[in-house]
Amino acid sequence: MRNACKKKVLYCGIIIIVLIIFLHPDMNARRSYEYIEKELIPDTLYEETAVNFTSSAILECDYHDVLFDDTTLSDSLVDGDLIEGHRIREGGEFSPSDCKPKFSTAVIVPYRDRAEQLRGFLVYMHMFLRRQSIHYRIFVVEQVDTRPFNRAKLLNIGALAAMRAGYPCLVLHDVDLLPLRPANLYACTKCPRHMSSSINKFRFVLPYLNLFGGAIAITSHQYKTINGMSNEYFGWGGEDDDLYARMESEELKMCRFEPENSRYHMMSHKSQHTGDRRKQVVKYEKNGISDDGLKNLKYTEVATVLHPLFTHIMVDL
């Protein structure tokens, strides 16, 4: 009798815990976060091409078919080669020849010591981006010193290079992420956009609502407004939460595309050392972002080399 009673209590307990987990508002929010409806995306896109960009095409490119493309690509494409006659120019720049693009995007990739992954990333991304009818260029910013990896500072350096080259839209992108849906247009929206909200590593669920890491799209103007990212995060973690805090302090609201079109494959690698600043992510006071970021960015540029598939910026932080 006593045993049967204990069992009942145990079962009830388990059921209650399961219910709490699955009915928790955050759980549902993460699965079905707020996003821009597909039909409304064209109105939210930020249309601008790079200063000095010219196209000989007369007709403007149309993005309807890209945004409504429902194919999913396979990550195994990283093992392939680029098609012949791909028309990618030195430095990793491309623009369509059959129509005049409405967007110029600088894809900025912080990097160190993952040659195999970088090769796969470049092949995949050029194949992916070419079919979106946008003008783009891939910048890889490599940390050559031996201090812990500083993702955010590398992104600041890449952003500056992209802005100097006249790019109005920045996509800040990890080298281990591959976008699986061609409908995930690599153009800026008027709101800074978290692009990688559905990653296989997290079982395609957003780990927390304010996550703003992985792959994001932000206009050069907005990036300047928030003084870029912090230069102080050496080692893994926290710098993306800091970026989110900067946007909040400037009242910039982020947006996303629907989960289905925000799917990414994360290439595997060994985990990195956690950084010291990680747990000190702050809420910025007004003007709190003005003394750490683009404005006080200091580094040594070791070399910049134009490779066939990317612009390689090597820096000592």
Find the radius of gyration of the CA atoms of the chain: 21
Please list the helix, strand and coil fractions of the chain in percent, rounded to the nearest 5, in that order.
35, 20, 45
- Give the one residue of 117, 225, 278, 304 binding ligand BGN; rule: CB under 6 A: 278
| C-beta closer to ligand BGN: residue 28 or 280 | 280
| C-beta closer to ligand BGN: residue 137 or 263 | 263
x-or-dash string of contact with ligand BGN, 159-198, rule CB under 6 A: ----------------------------------------
CA angle 18, 21, 25 (to 5 degrees): 140
- Give the one residue of 96, 148, 237, 259 binding ligand BGN; rule: CB under 6 A: 237
Q: Which of residues 105-164 bind ligand BGN (CB under 6 A)?
A: none
As measured in angstroms, the least distance from the Cβ of 212 to ligand BGN is: 8
DSSP string computed for 90-155: TTTEE--SSSB-SBEEEEEEEE-S-HHHHHHHHHHHHHHHHTTT-EEEEEEEEE-SSSPP-HHHHH
Pairing of strands 311-316, 300-306: antiparallel
- Give the one residue of 13, 42, 80, 207 binding ligand BGN; rule: CB under 6 A: 207
As measured in angstroms, the least distance from the Cβ of 278 to ligand BGN is: 4
For 106, phi then psi, to 5°, come to -100, 120
Q: Quote the CA–CA distance of 105 and 94 in Å, as a whole number.
A: 10
As measured in angstroms, the least distance from the Cβ of 211 to ligand BGN is: 6
Q: Which of residues 22-81 bind ligand BGN (CB under 6 A)?
A: none
As measured in angstroms, the least distance from the Cβ of 208 to ligand BGN is: 7
Instruction: Choose the binding region for ligand BGN from 70-78, 133-141, 250-258, 278-286 (rule: CB under 6 A).
Output: 278-286
Assign 256 to helix, strand or coil: coil
Q: Quote the CA–CA distance of 159 and 141 in Å, as a whole number.
A: 10
DSSP code for 177: E
Q: Quote the CA–CA distance of 81 and 57 in Å, as a whole number.
A: 28
- Give the one residue of 93, 176, 241, 258 binding ligand BGN; rule: CB under 6 A: 241
As measured in angstroms, the least distance from the Cβ of 267 to ligand BGN is: 15
Is residue 44 within 8 A of residue 193, CB to CB? The reply is no
x-or-dash string of contact with ligand BGN, 212-231, rule CB under 6 A: -x------------------
Instruction: Choose the binding region for ligand BGN from 7-15, 92-100, 108-116, 205-213 (rule: CB under 6 A).
Output: 205-213
User: Considering CB under 6 A, how many residues would be counted as binding ligand BGN?
Assistant: 10
Residue type, 284: Y
- Give the one residue of 142, 174, 176, 240 binding ligand BGN; rule: CB under 6 A: 240
Residue type, 141: V
Is residue 172 within 8 A of residue 214, CB to CB? The reply is no
- Interface residues with ligand BGN (CB under 6 A)? 207, 211, 213, 237-238, 240-241, 278-279, 281
